[in-house]
Amino acid sequence: MKAPAENRGQVLELGAENPLVLDSGKRLSPFTIAYMTYGTLNAARSNAVLICHALSGDQFVASTHPVTGKPGWWSYAVGPGKPIDTNRFYVICANVVGGCMGTTGPGEIDPATGEPYGLGFPIVTVGDMVRAQAMLLDALGIEQLLCALGGSMGGMQVLQWAASYPDRVYSAMPIATAARHSAQNIAFHEVGRQAIMADPDWKAGDYALAGVKPSKGLAVARMAAHITYLSEAALQRKFGRELHDRNALSFGFDADFQIESYLRHQGMTFVDRFDANSYLYITRAMDYFDLAGDYGGVLAEAFRGTKTRFCLVSFTSDWLFPTSENKRIAHALNAAGANVSFVEIVSDRGHDAFLLEEPELFDTMRGFLGAAASVKGIA
Amino acid sequence: MNRADRIIAASSLRPDLAAIAEMIPPDARVLDIGCGDGSLLEYLVRAKNVDGRGLELSQQNVNHCVARGLSVVQGDADTDLSEYPSGVFDIVILSQTIQATRRPSHVLHELLRIGKRTIVSFPNFGHWRIRLSLLVAGRMPVTKTLGHVWHDTPNIHLCTINDFLVLAHETGAHIEQALALIDNQRTRKMDPAAWGPNLMAEGAIFMLAKA
Instruction: Let me know how long chain A is.
Output: 379
Q: How confident is the model at residue B11 (pLDDT cuts 50, 70, 90)?
A: low
pLDDT digits over B81-105, tens only? 998 989 989 999 999 999 999 999 9
**Chain A hits for B42, Cβ within 8 Å:** none
**Read out DSSP for A174-222?**
EES--SB--HHHHHHHHHHHHHHHHSGGGGGGTHHHHT---HHHHHHHH
Interface of A with B (CB under 8 A): 309, 311, 330-331, 334-337, 339-346, 360, 363-364, 366-368, 370-371, 374
Residue pairs spanning A and B at CB distance below 8 A: 63
pLDDT digits over A291-334, tens only? 999 999 999 999 999 999 999 999 999 999 999 999 999 999 98
- The single-letter code of the amino acid at A76 is Y
Range A72-101 average pLDDT: 97
Nearest neighbour of A339 by CB, restricted to B71, B74, B83: B71
Catalogue the E-assigned strands of B70-146: 71-74, 89-95, 115-123
Contact call for B62 and A342, based on CB within 8 A = yes
CB B34 within 8 A of CB B107: no
CATH numbers and ranges of domains, chain A: 5-184+290-375 (3.40.50.1820), 186-283 (1.10.1740.110)
pLDDT digits over B28-80, tens only? 999 999 999 999 999 999 999 999 999 999 988 998 899 889 999 988 999 99
Give the distance from residue B86's alpha carbon to the nearest chain A alpha carbon, in angstroms: 9
CA–CA dist A209, A118 (Å, integer) = 9
- For the domain bounded by B3-125+158-210, which CATH number is listed? 3.40.50.150
CA–CA dist A56, A283 (Å, integer) = 10
Catalytic machinery residues of A: 152, 318, 351
Q: Kindly provide the ipTM of the predicted complex, given to two decimals.
A: 0.81
Domain segments of chain B: what residues?
A: 3-125+158-210
Quick check: B143 pLDDT over 90?
A: no
Helix (H) or strand (E) holding A233: helix A232-238
Mean pLDDT score of chain A, rounded to an integer?
95
Quick check: B5 pLDDT over 50?
A: no
Q: State which residue of chain B sits closest to A370, comparing Cα positions.
A: B69
**Chain B hits for A335, Cβ within 8 Å:** 83-85
Mutate to test the interface with A, among B30, B63, B114 (most CBs of A within 10 A): B63
pLDDT at A256: 95
> Given its phi and psi angles, is residue B16 left (phi above 0), alpha (psi -120 to 50 degrees) or beta?
alpha
Cis check for the bond before A166: say yes or no (omega within 30 of 0). no
Coil, strand or helix: which one is A262? Answer: helix
Q: What is the sign of the dihedral through the CA atoms of A166, A169, A173 and A174?
A: negative
CA–CA dist A234, A154 (Å, integer) = 23
- The single-letter code of the amino acid at A258 is Q
Nearest neighbour of B74 by CB, restricted to A311, A342, A346: A342
Quick check: B4 pLDDT over 50?
A: no
